[in-house]
DNA sequence: GACATATAGTTAGTTATGCAACTAATTTCA
DNA sequence: TGAAATTAGTTGCATAACTAACTATATGTC
């Protein structure tokens, strides 16, 4: 038995990611209470577009760790809500560039404030070093499996 | 700004839980390759029943961190596959006791081996102390938000 | 130039999640 | 005792995930 193997009874918390689920739920709730009608999955797409606008769907797949059908439907829903718009690329007609609308740009600061607030609530009593360790382990696990 | 606040650019990995998603995906794949037709959500319910059989649906909610409709439907599907059976409690007729079938009992060792194997792959290069820290932070975050 | 292969995105089908509204059984307490 | 509140579970609706199969465009190679 390897040195770092989880005991069976502890496996679940890792597989299920209960902590990140709890964060997501709380953030969703905070959005709703602020009258924002977006899901946190939609928000996570907008988040990457705020960093760099007009990405291809494939690029959004890479950055959000989602597969193509998931992104297709998230973009469908964001388009219905008039938060993004698909535009065919001039140079490669296979590619859709996904660009923010003005309405989406207005959401940025408000939702990022809510996200930061939520993280502050979540991380009460957690040290900087511990956060650093969690991030490193996450990255390592992700790299190990992909 | 609080001392342990995430920088914006780092928020996503926590909220999305990409690492636990990657673990779940790999475990699901390993189940499929072994010819096991269960989802990892279903497995996570069975997991708690292997530890203690014939729990109420409410108790399964608590132990798996899911809400009641999610458990209702997971049990529906597990019942379709003849892996569990609902039995009305003798003492409180509101309660369904969810009990394992023989078929489910046979799945236990095989799937837990696969889960341990998956965790070993995932945790290559991660130390025991780091795992301990991650678990503590998860628990802390969960407690902070619930 | 033409055929094979790779890449970008969509669609269909199944399972799962969250919320809100619901039924039925039990408990509380006036 | 009997009405109100609580608890256990279900159902309906919308969103999202994964897989597999699909279309369309682009690239690579003979």
B65-80 pLDDT tens trace: 889 999 999 999 999 9
User: What is the 8-class DSSP label of residue B38?
Assistant: -
Q: How confident is the model at residue A6 (pLDDT cuts 50, 70, 90)?
A: very low
Is the separation of the CB atoms in B22 and A142 below 8 Å? Answer: yes
Average pLDDT of the segment spanning A67-75: 95
Q: Can you give the residue ranges of every domain in chain A? A: 1-36, 38-108
Interfacial A residues in 23-82 facing B (CB < 8 Å): 23-27, 40, 44, 47-48, 51, 64-65
Q: pLDDT-derived band of residue B19, with 50, 70 and 90 as boundaries?
A: low
Question: Testing the interface with B: which of A17, A113, A132 to mutate, by most B Cβ within 10 A?
Answer: A17
Look at residue A17 and tell me whether its pLDDT is greater than 60.
no
Whether residue A132 is predicted with pLDDT greater than 60 in this model: the reply is: yes
DSSP conformational letter for A54: S
B13 vs B131, residue with greater confidence: B131
pLDDT for A76-126, tens place per residue?
999 999 999 999 999 999 999 999 999 999 999 888 888 888 888 888 999
- Give yes or no for CB of B12 within 7 Å of strand D: no
- Tell me the chain A residues in contact with residue B134 when contact means C-beta distances shorter than 8 Å: 14, 133-134, 137
| Alpha carbon distance A37, B128 (integer Å) | 42
What top-level class would CATH report for the domain A38-108?
mainly alpha
Residue in the structure block whose two tokens are 């990457």 = A48
Region B49-64: mean pLDDT is: 94
Q: Identify the pLDDT of residue B20.
A: 67
Please give the CATH topology (third level) of the domain spanning B8-114. Arc Repressor Mutant, subunit A (1.10.10)
Q: Say whether B119 and A145 touch across the interface (CB within 8 A).
A: no
As a whole number, mean pLDDT of residues B83-99 equals 96
* Long-range residue pairs from A91-100, CB within 8 A, at least 24 positions apart, any chain: A95/A56, A95/A57, A95/A58, A96/A56, A96/A57, A97/A54, A97/A55, A97/A56, A98/A45, A98/A49, A98/A54, A98/A55, A98/A56, A98/A57, A98/A60, A99/A49, A99/A53, A99/A54, A100/A46, A100/A49, A100/A50, A100/A53, A100/A54
Nucleotides on chain C that have an atom closer than 7 A to a protein CB are 7-13, 15-21, 24-27
Q: ipTM of this predicted complex? A: 0.81
Residue-averaged pLDDT of chain A: 84
The whole-number average pLDDT for the span A12-21 is 55
Q: Give the least confident one: A30-44, A68-82, B82-96.
A: A30-44
Helix (H, G, I), strand (E, B) or coil at B1: coil
């Amino acid at each position: 038995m390897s040195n770092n193997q989880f005991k069976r009874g502890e496996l679940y918390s890792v597989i299920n990611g209960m902590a990140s689920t709890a964060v997501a739920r709380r953030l969703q709730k905070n959005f709703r209470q602020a009258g924002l009608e977006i899901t946190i999955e939609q928000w996570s797409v907008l988040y990457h577009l705020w960093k760099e606008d007009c990405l291809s769907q494939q690029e959004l797949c890479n950055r959000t760790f989602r597969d193509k059908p998931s992104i297709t439907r998230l973009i469908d829903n964001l388009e219905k809500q008039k938060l993004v718009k698909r535009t065919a690329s001039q140079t490669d007609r296979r590619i859709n560039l996904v660009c923010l609308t003005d309405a989406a740009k207005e959401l940025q600061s408000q939702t990022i404030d809510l996200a930061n607030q939520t993280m502050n609530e979540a991380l009460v009593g957690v040290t900087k070093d511990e956060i650093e360790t969690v991030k490193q382990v996450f990255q390592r696990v992700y790299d190990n499996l992909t």
